[in-house]
Amino acid sequence: MRKLIRITTVPLSLDKLLGKQLSFMNQFYEVTAISADEKELQRVAKKYGVKNFHVQMTRQISPIQDLLALWKLYRFLRREKPELVHSHTPKAGIVGMMAAFFAGVPHRFHTVAGLPLMEAEGLKRKILNAVESLTYRFATKVYPNSFGLQDIILKEGFCSPEKLKVLGKGSSNGIDTSHFNRHQVSPEHQEQLRLDLGIQPEDFV
């Protein structure tokens, strides 16, 4: 079966950014989730019924640890030979895209859900800019999750327009609208919520 690798820096991103997308894609690929925090990673992988592989990563600038993560991930990808590696979050992006490139993975996708570098200044900003640009260079496709992010990426010159694509009107994983369905909340609870929030019976909610 074809293999798909999904990588985030921390398991929380796998759980909240991707969630049921992992289970859905597992119908068509053998999905492996990769992240730091081994115990939490195993919990998330079990929750969505996918395989997992632990690679220790941190959100901080940490060259030695990053090189160790790169080497461990490269060896894993060489062994597994996946068809596609898809990274999310900045650190997982640079480690994942570099490892996938050197391991010869044909399809290397990176989703951009935000740019923390926008808050940095001076030397730190220059380093983060260089890392972001390098991540996109090793990727075969880059997916900003909004047109605003796409504009910033183009303005900063991180990669060419041909490599960028915004899915739909912009999203990482869509919205599960059933989660917000009022029928999931009992009438009694709805009434109590109205009282607690000072919402009158005639008010439209």
DSSP string, 96-156: HHHHHHHTT-SEEEEEES--GGGG--HHHHHHHHHHHHHHHHH-SEEEESSHHHHHHHHHH
Higher pLDDT, 39 or 190: 39
| 175: its two tokens | 């919205």
For residues 166 and 145, what is the distance between their CA atoms, to the nearest angstrom?
Answer: 6
Residues of the chain above pLDDT 70, percent = 98
Domains belonging to the chain, first-starting first, are: 3-175 (3.40.50.2000)
- Contact (Cβ atoms closer than 8 angstroms) between residue 50 and residue 21: no
For residues 4 and 107, what is the distance between their CA atoms, to the nearest angstrom?
Answer: 10
Mean pLDDT of the region 175-194: 84
Per-residue pLDDT at 128: 80
For residues 203 and 205, what is the distance between their CA atoms, to the nearest angstrom?
Answer: 6
- pTM comes to 0.83
- pLDDT digits 0-9 by tens, 91-139: 999 999 999 999 999 999 999 987 766 667 788 878 888 888 999 999 9
Beta bridge partners of 164: 142
Residues of the chain above pLDDT 90, percent = 61
Alpha-carbon dihedral 125, 139, 91, 69, rounded to 10 degrees: -130
